[in-house]
């Protein structure tokens, strides 16, 4: 079954949802000003990790998908400004009819 992912808080046509819990996944650290991937590609990488986490707990879907820039570091500590993209959502099972 293909994982259903939605930024909404419900899934159209689902009769019931069993909430499994909030899940989170983040990309590796990369330069904030320029990384080897564009922002959309970083988001896709975070989403793919989030989907793997949902699959690990036998979820059918992720609802409430959201992205954030996680932990921008101080350039004085690392020599450059670093960031990573985090994806969060609620893992759910769709009720069977």
pLDDT in tens, 31-41: 776 555 566 88
Nearest to 3 by CA among 42, 40, 58: 58
CATH code for residues 4-94: 3.30.110.70
- Six token digits for residue 1: 């079954």
What's the chain's average pLDDT?
87
Q: What is the pLDDT of residue 45?
A: 93
84-to-25, 32, 37, 88, 93 alpha-carbon distances in Å: 10, 8, 11, 13, 28
CA distance 90 to 22: 4
Domain ranges of the chain: 4-94
Q: Contact at 8 Å (CB) between 48 and 78?
A: no
């Amino acid at each position: 079954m293909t994982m259903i992912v939605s930024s909404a808080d419900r899934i159209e046509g689902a009769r019931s949802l069993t909430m499994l819990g909030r899940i989170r996944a983040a990309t590796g650290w990369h330069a904030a000003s320029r990384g080897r991937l564009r922002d959309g590609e970083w988001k896709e990488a975070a989403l793919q990790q989030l989907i793997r986490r949902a699959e690990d707990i036998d979820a059918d879907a992720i609802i409430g998908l959201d992205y954030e820039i996680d932990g921008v570091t101080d350039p004085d500590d690392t020599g450059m400004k670093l960031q990573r993209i985090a994806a969060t959502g609620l893992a759910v099972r769709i009720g069977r009819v």
